Structure 1
Amino acid sequence: MGTVHAKAEENFTEASEFVNRNVPHDSADAYTFKEVDLEAVRARVDKINVDGLARTKNDIVEDCIRELFRAKDFQDVLIKAHRARVKLDELGCFKNISVFIDTSKGPKATSDGLEVTFNVKEHKRLTGGVSTQVGNNEGSLLVGLRAPNLFGRGERVQVEYSHGSKRTSNFNVAFIKPFRGRHRPTLTTSVFQSQSEWPSSGYRQLERGSLLDLSFYSTPFLKHNLQWEANIRDLSVLSRTSSFEVREQSGLSLKSALRHILACDLRDDLIFPSTGSLFQVTSEVAGVGGDVGFLKNDVFLQGNYSVLEDIVIQGCLSGGYMSSISNDMKISMSDMYYLGGPLCLRGFQMRGVGPHSDGDALGSTGYWSAGLHLFTPLPFRPGRGGFGELFRTHLFVNGGNVGNFRVGRDSSILDTLRANMRISYGLGVALRLGNMARLEVNYCFPYIFDKGDQTHPGVQFGIGVQFL
C-alpha cells in the first residue's frame, strides 16, 4: 500500500483528543494522546484529485475511486481509500501510487469534508527485465518484456520466457484487458509453450496451447476465474528404463477443457500468515473436443490462528477427485493426482506415494492430504526486529492418501479415505524469500507408510509458494 497521510485541523480535534500537561508546546511530552474510535469521527469526501495522469483515460480511473464519495466516517474514508488504491494498482498502469488526505478547502467545503489526492506515476511504454522466481521446488530464470497501458485503459501485452533448474522451460505471450465495473472483470488471452521433465514418473512433456481467462469478483474478497484451455501435448519417455505403463501413454494428445476457479483469501500475509484463511475450489471439465476427457474437482483450505505473539497454528486440507466422462476418451498421466514431496506430504520423495511401476509414479484419480503446523520465532530471538524476522521454527504433522478410490456398498467414503493412510512428522526452519516464496529445511520422520512408498527420512528441502 502507498503512503497515506492524514491531517487533522479544527474540525477534527475530537479525533485526536489530548491532555495538556502545562509544559511548553514544543516539548515532546506536551500532550498525551488517547485512543479514539475513528468510526465516531464524522467525515465525507468533497473532492478527489488524481495527479500524474498522462496516457491513462479518466473514465477507467473514475471507476476505481468513485466509491470514496460514499464514505460516512473517517475510518470508512481510510478503508475506501485503500481499496481505491488496490483497484488502481490492479489496472497495471502505474508503478507507484500514494494517497494524501487533507481537510477540504474552498467555498464549497463542508464542515466535516475531506479532500483526497492520489499521486500516481505511470509505467513507461515499454518495460522489461531479467529476474528469478521460485516455486514447485525449483528456481527459474525469467526474462520478460511488457507494453503496459497500450490504449490508456490498462490494456497490456507481455512476453515471458523462463528456464528452470529442473529442465523446465515456458514461453508465454498474453494480452490483458481490465474492464470497468464493480466486479472488476479482467480478460486475459494467451498462447504458450511449456516443456517439463518428471523423473519420478519417467516421462517428459511438451505442451503447446492457448488460454482464455475471464476473472471477476462477486464480492470484495471472492474471486472467480472462468477459463477455456486448448493444448496439444506430446508425452515421451524420459529414459530407457521408463516403465511399460508410461510407454503406453506416449504420443500426442489434444485436450480442450473448461475450468472454474473460486478463491477467497483473507490471510494477512502470503508467506507467514498469522491470522485469516484461504479457500479455493477448482472444477474442470475436459472433453469439449479432443481425445482427453474427464471431470475433475479440487479443494484447498488453510486456516491460521495466532496463539501468542508470533506463535501461529496453521491447519491445511486439500483433496481432489476425477472421473472419466467417456470410454472413448482417456485420462493422461499429466492430469492425474500425485502425492509426496516437501510441498505436500513431507518425509516422502517427490510423487513417492501411490501406485508405481518399475519405480515410476503412475498417478491416481483421487487423493487427500492434511497438515498441522506450529510456527514460532527462532529460539532466543536472534536478530529480532531485523534479519531474524525472516525465519520461523517449524513443527509439523502431515497425513494423506492417494489412489483410485471406489466406494462400495459395504464401505463408506470415510472408511475409503482412511484406509492405508500415510503419516509423517518433523521439525525444521522456514525462511521467507521476499513476498514471493518460502524455503523450508525440515528433518522428517515417516511414521506410517506402505511398503511400496518411497520415503525420505532425514533432512528435506522445499521451496515454493503454497505448502500443505
Structure 2
Amino acid sequence: MGTFRAKEANMSGNSNQDTNNAIPRGRYNSKMTDGSSAYFNSERDLLEKEDTKEKSIDLQTVKARVDRIHVDGLMRTKDDIIKAQVTDLFKAKDMQDVIIRAYKVKGKLEALGCFRSIGVYIDTSQGPHASSEGVEITFTVREMRRLMGGINTMVGNNEGSVIIGAKAPNLFGRGERLQMEYSQGTKSSTNINVSAVKPLVDSWFRTVLTGSVYNTTSDFPWSGYHQCDKGLLLDIALNPDGAGILKHNLQYEATYRKMICSKQASFRVREQSGPSLKSALRHICSIDKRDSLIFPTAGSLIQFSTEIAGLGGDIGFVKNELIMQSNWTPHECLSFQLGLQSGLLRGINDNMKINIVDQFFLGGPMNLRGFDMRGCGPRHDGNSIGGDAYWALALHLYTPLPFRPGRRGFGDLFRLHGFVNGGNVSNFTFKFANDYKENMKIFTENVRCSVGGGIAMKLGNVARLELNLVMPLLFIRSDVLQKFQFGIGLQYL
C-alpha cells in the first residue's frame, strides 16, 4: 500500500510551553454530589481530554497544487518512462486529489516491475518559486537487482507446483525483463517457460508485449492420456482504463502437441493419440469490479474468451467461453456469490479435426463439486472424453467462523461455506435445422446437481483451499461421485 507522510507547518509556535503556562500545576479539590471530596490533577485531565478529542478535516476543502515532483533512487531506469507515470499529479486541485493521484502513480510505478519498494512523501513547497498552496511530492524508490532468482510454490487446477525461476528485470531501463521458469507439479506435470516482456507505458492502452516459448507435460489419468506440448505464445495485453478493471488480451499460439495413451485407455481415446499441430488466435476480455479475488464481498466479474484455431496445422475449431460472477453482502456476516460458466465448441470444416484435448470437462472440487475430476459427462470404457458444450451454475453462502476467533487476524483467512451447484456437459449437433430442440436438452436432461458445505481458507491473495462435504442430488450411472472433497486453486465455480 505504501506510506503517505504529510508535514504540517507549526502555526502556534511553542504550543507546549504556552499550554504549560496557561494550566497551573497542582491539585484541585472538588465537592461531589454526595458530599465527599475528590482530587484531580488539572494538567493531566485536560491533556487527556485533548488527546481523546477527534478532529475531522475535509481534504477537498484544502486547496493544493503540485509544484515539484522528486524521484530519488533512480540508477538504471530512464527518465522518460518515469515522467510518463507521474505527470498526472500536476492535474490535482485539492489535497484529497493529491493523495489519490499519488497512490495511483505509485501503483503505476509498481506495475513497471523495476522497483523493489516505493515510498511516497508529501511536503509543503518551499523556495523562491513556491506557490501559496503548493506541495512537493517525493518518491523514494529502490531498484531491483540486475539478476534475481528464487524457489516458489504455486497452486492451480487442484495441483501444487514448485517453481525455480530466474529473471533479469529492467534490462534496458524501460521495464523490459527476461524471465525463465521451471516447475514440477505434484501430478507429474512439468513446465519450462522462457519469456521476454516489454511494456509500452507511453501508449494510451498501456500495452504490454510478451513473447514466450514453452515445453509442458501434463498427465490426465481420468481420460487415459499423457500430453506433451511445445509451443510459442505471443501476447498483447491492453489496459485502457489504467485501473485494471477492463483488460484485453490478444494472443497467437502455435503448439506442437503429442498425446500418449495409457495402457488402460479406451479405443475412443487411442484413435486420437499421436502428434498434432495447432495454430490459433485468441481474444480474452474481462471486466473485474470485485473487491477481492479470493473472498469478494461486492462487485462482479465478466470474462469472455474466443479462440479460433485452423490458421495452420491439422486442428480447426471456434471455441467460446463465458465466466460470470456476482457478489453481494446484505449483512456483515453473510455474503452471497452467484457464479456462471458456459462454453461452446464448433468445428470449422471436415478437413480439420477436434482433439479430446480441446473438449470441455466438468467435475472436481473447484468445478462441479460432488463429482470427481472430469467425473461427469460423456464417457467411454471408463475414460472421460468431454463434450463440445457445457454450462455450470453455483450459488454460495459465506459466513465467518463461529464466535469470530482471531478476528482482524488469522481468523479472517477462513470462511464457512455452503453451496448448491449444477450443470451439464454434452455434444451439440449443427447439421440439421431441427437440431435446435435436440440441443436444448442439455438444460433439461441429465442435469447434475449437488449441495454441500465446508470450510474455505484464503492462501495469500493467489489461491483458496476448500474442504467440503457434498451430497450429489442429480446424476447418472456413469458419473463418478465424491462426497468428501479437498480442493485448491484460484479459479473456481
Give the TM-score taking structure 2 as reference length.
0.88
**1:416 offset after TM fit, Å?**
4.0
The aligned counterpart of 2:134 is: 113
- The equivalences for 1:142-181 within 5 A come to 142-179=163-200, 180-181=202-203
Contact kept, 8 Å, 2:452 with 2:469, in 1: the verdict is yes
Deviation >6 Å, runs of 4+: 21-25
The aligned counterpart of 1:349 is: 372
| Cα deviations by residue, 1:63-83 (Å, 9 ceiling, x for unpaired) | 111111112232322222222
1:413/1:246 Cα in 2 relative to 1: closer, same or farther (>3 Å)? closer
2:112 counterpart of 1:91 = yes
Separation of aligned partners in 1, 2:339 and 2:96: 33
Contact kept, 8 Å, 1:274 with 1:310, in 2: the verdict is no
2:208 counterpart of 1:190 = no
**1:318 offset after TM fit, Å?**
1.0
2:311 counterpart of 1:299 = no
The aligned counterpart of 2:349 is: 326
The aligned counterpart of 1:430 is: 456
- 3-state SS of paired residue (1:111): coil
Provide the aligned length of Structure 1 versus Structure 2: 457
- The equivalences for 1:436-451 within 5 A come to 436-451=462-477
Separation of aligned partners in 1, 2:140 and 2:195: 29
- 3-state SS of paired residue (2:85): helix
The aligned counterpart of 2:338 is: 315
1:427/1:282 Cα in 2 relative to 1: closer, same or farther (>3 Å)? same
1:379/1:261 Cα in 2 relative to 1: closer, same or farther (>3 Å)? same
Contact kept, 8 Å, 1:63 with 1:181, in 2: the verdict is no
The aligned counterpart of 1:203 is: 225
**1:24 offset after TM fit, Å?**
8.2
1:156/1:306 Cα in 2 relative to 1: closer, same or farther (>3 Å)? same
- 3-state SS of paired residue (1:439): strand
Query: Which of 46, 55, 58 does residue 76 from structure 2 map onto?
Result: 55
**1:303 offset after TM fit, Å?**
1.5
Separation of aligned partners in 1, 2:302 and 2:98: 29
The aligned counterpart of 1:462 is: 487
2:411 counterpart of 1:411 = no
Amino acid aligned to 2:210: T
Separation of aligned partners in 1, 2:157 and 2:222: 14
Amino acid aligned to 2:6: A
Give the TM-score taking structure 1 as reference length.
0.93
**1:28 offset after TM fit, Å?**
6.8
- 3-state SS of paired residue (1:441): strand
| Cα deviations by residue, 1:193-229 (Å, 9 ceiling, x for unpaired) | 0000001110010000010011111223211111000
Contact kept, 8 Å, 1:23 with 1:30, in 2: the verdict is no
Contact kept, 8 Å, 2:458 with 2:464, in 1: the verdict is yes
Query: Which of 49, 52, 63 does residue 42 from structure 1 map onto?
Result: 63
2:288 counterpart of 1:265 = yes
| Cα deviations by residue, 1:160-191 (Å, 9 ceiling, x for unpaired) | 00000000000000000111223211100010
Separation of aligned partners in 2, 1:348 and 1:168: 22
**1:409 offset after TM fit, Å?**
6.1
Contact kept, 8 Å, 2:176 with 2:199, in 1: the verdict is yes
Separation of aligned partners in 2, 1:413 and 1:391: 41
2:187 counterpart of 1:135 = no
The aligned counterpart of 1:255 is: 278
The aligned counterpart of 2:25 is: none
- 3-state SS of paired residue (1:218): coil
2:392 counterpart of 1:366 = no
Contact kept, 8 Å, 2:424 with 2:442, in 1: the verdict is no
- 3-state SS of paired residue (1:92): coil
Separation of aligned partners in 2, 1:37 and 1:406: 63
**1:27 offset after TM fit, Å?**
4.5
- The equivalences for 1:72-91 within 5 A come to 72-91=93-112
Contact kept, 8 Å, 1:406 with 1:416, in 2: the verdict is no
Separation of aligned partners in 1, 2:395 and 2:186: 30
The aligned counterpart of 1:235 is: 259
The aligned counterpart of 1:16 is: none
Q: Which entry has the higher C-alpha Rg, 1 or 2?
A: 2
Ranges in structure 2 where 5+ consecutive residues have no aligned partner:
12-41
- 3-state SS of paired residue (1:219): coil
Separation of aligned partners in 2, 1:279 and 1:289: 31
Contact kept, 8 Å, 1:341 with 1:351, in 2: the verdict is yes
Amino acid aligned to 2:225: Y
2:424 counterpart of 1:401 = yes
Separation of aligned partners in 1, 2:396 and 2:260: 38
1:343/1:202 Cα in 2 relative to 1: closer, same or farther (>3 Å)? same
**Could you say what the CA RMSD is over the residues aligned between the two structures, in angstroms?**
2.1
2:241 counterpart of 1:219 = yes
The aligned counterpart of 1:29 is: 50
- 3-state SS of paired residue (1:125): coil
1:105/1:419 Cα in 2 relative to 1: closer, same or farther (>3 Å)? farther
Amino acid aligned to 1:364: G
1:412/1:200 Cα in 2 relative to 1: closer, same or farther (>3 Å)? closer
Separation of aligned partners in 2, 1:360 and 1:413: 23
Query: Which of 109, 114, 121 does residue 100 from structure 1 map onto?
Result: 121
**1:49 offset after TM fit, Å?**
1.1
Separation of aligned partners in 2, 1:420 and 1:40: 63
1:303/1:152 Cα in 2 relative to 1: closer, same or farther (>3 Å)? same
Amino acid aligned to 1:365: D
Amino acid aligned to 2:219: E
2:26 counterpart of 1:3 = no
- 3-state SS of paired residue (1:49): strand
